[in-house]
Chains A and B, each alone.
Chain A
């Protein structure tokens, strides 16, 4: 797919950056003229993916989280969130609704929400090498006013 525009961001895995990541995602996506609902979907999915990296990837240190966003031909927004942390031993299990290894402030619904708010979701992970979550959403072109 032809790439029309992109950004790359890198930030430490600190929870204060969750709000920054979804604001940055919304600002980048704005050029595609999404609806308010689509923008909400993007912010939600980014919040889930970035939070997973922050909560799970680096138990003993503050590592780095990378976020790359691309606009692809056909009004498709692609968001990739990557860490180089401990990885997920069983991705299928981690993606089950209500499954969580986080604290009581986690619900285990992150992947379910990413999958339901975006059109495509792929999770690749290797133990001690990290996790990459890639999501795609087609932005429906609005009718001219």
Chain B
């Protein structure tokens, strides 16, 4: 699991790569929270294009990012989720709380 980011014009994009499970989640959360604090972006795009697997730890991560952005008055959404991660998102129903662009 790797998290990289890019920032331009108020928009922070987080690129998640590899497998996201509970073993990886705490470290990823910490890194993401620090990056959001560093930039205080208006928008936060969670790009899941490189994610080959995620379980419900990914749901917790998305909800946490959404809360972080709420606190600073910004918005967060998910893009590019592939088959398996997308199915987990669908099953969890969080697409009712946060925008998911396929």
**Does A pair with B?**
yes
The answer for the CA separation of A39 and B29 in the assembled complex, in Å, is: 27
Judging by beta carbons under 8 Å apart, are B92 and A109 in contact? yes
Residue with the greatest number of chain A CB neighbours at <10 A, chosen from B22, B63, B93: B22
* Chain A CB within 8 A of B59 CB: yes
- What string of 1s and 0s marks CB contacts (under 8 Å) between A6-24 and chain B? 0000000001101100100
Majority-rule SS of A interface residues: helix
Q: B69 → chain A, closest Cβ, in Å?
A: 15
Per a CB cutoff under 8 Å, which of B21, B61, B92, B93 touches A19?
B21
* Chain A CB within 8 A of B3 CB: no
- What string of 1s and 0s marks CB contacts (under 8 Å) between A85-110 and chain B? 00000000000010000011111111
Judging by beta carbons under 8 Å apart, are A106 and B56 in contact? yes
- What string of 1s and 0s marks CB contacts (under 8 Å) between B51-91 and chain A? 00101110111011000000000000000000110011001
* Chain B CB within 8 A of A36 CB: yes
Q: How many A-B residue pairs have CB under 8 A?
A: 82
* Chain A CB within 8 A of B100 CB: no
Majority-rule SS of B interface residues: helix
Which residue of the partner chain B has the closest CB to A41? B87
* Chain B CB within 8 A of A37 CB: yes
Interface, chain A (partner B; CB < 8 A): 15-16, 18-19, 22, 36-37, 40-41, 43-44, 47-48, 51, 54-55, 97, 103-110, 112-113, 116-117
Given contacts A19-B19, A41-B87, 13 further A-B contacts (CB under 8 A): A22-B53, A37-B83, A40-B53, A104-B60, A105-B57, A105-B61, A106-B56, A106-B60, A107-B63, A112-B92, A113-B88, A113-B92, A116-B91
5 tightest A-B CB contacts, nearest first: A107-B60, A15-B23, A40-B84, A105-B25, A107-B59
Q: List 14 A-B contacts (CB under 8 A).
A: A15-B23, A16-B23, A19-B23, A37-B83, A44-B55, A47-B53, A51-B21, A97-B92, A103-B26, A104-B64, A107-B92, A108-B56, A112-B92, A113-B55
